[in-house]
């Protein structure tokens, strides 16, 4: 029973998508390829990097990264090439420039603006005068209307 449970546990554990035919002979280059694979997003999967994805395009990107590493390119050169080809969406951690900078800043700015507007609203509401009490004449008229 223990062996069956062990086998089921091993079968249920997630397997990395990197296929044996993709692994480089040089361990240093393979480590760099894995690190780059963690930084690149699969363009057809949602939130999955190319190292974990089973999609065909992810396999192509893994092979491309390994091919360029073997050619002697630096990590940054490979990232620049992939970004030029697929756009910044392919990066798991996009750069803080251009439109991305606006997206990063917009959330906190809108939160501060909402807090400011809320603070002004509640201050004005707290300072609002209480409704004036009815005069004796108005109170008598109200009593008369209520009796009818």
Chain centroid offset of residue 141 CA: 65
Quickly count helices (H) and strands (E) in the chain.
6, 0
Burial environment of residue 44 by CB neighbours within 10 A (0 to 12, 13 to 18, 19 or more)? exposed
**Domains of the chain: which residue ranges?**
15-90, 98-146
Rounded to whole angstroms, the Cα distance separating 38 from 50 reads 7
* pLDDT value, residue 20: 55
For the domain covering 15-90, report its CATH number. Answer: 1.10.8.640
Q: What is the pLDDT of residues 63-89, one digit of tens each?
A: 999 999 889 999 999 999 999 998 888
Q: Which residue has the tokens 């509401």?
A: 125
Q: What is the pLDDT of residues 22-56, one digit of tens each?
A: 666 778 888 898 899 999 999 888 889 998 888 88
């Amino acid at each position: 029973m223990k062996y069956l449970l062990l086998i089921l546990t091993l079968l249920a554990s997630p397997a990395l998508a990197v296929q044996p035919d993709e692994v480089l002979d040089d361990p240093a280059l393979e480590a760099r390829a894995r690190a780059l694979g963690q930084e690149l997003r699969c363009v057809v999967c949602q939130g999955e990097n190319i190292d974990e994805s089973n999609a065909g395009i992810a396999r192509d990107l893994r092979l491309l990264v390994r091919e360029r590493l073997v050619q002697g390119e630096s990590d940054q050169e490979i990232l620049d090439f992939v970004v030029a080809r697929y756009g910044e969406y392919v990066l798991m951690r996009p750069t803080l420039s251009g439109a991305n900078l606006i997206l990063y800043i917009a959330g906190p700015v809108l939160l501060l603006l909402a807090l400011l507007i809320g603070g002004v609203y509640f201050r004005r509401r707290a300072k609002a005068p209480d409704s004036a009490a009815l005069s004796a004449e108005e109170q008598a008229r109200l009593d008369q209307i209520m009796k009818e």
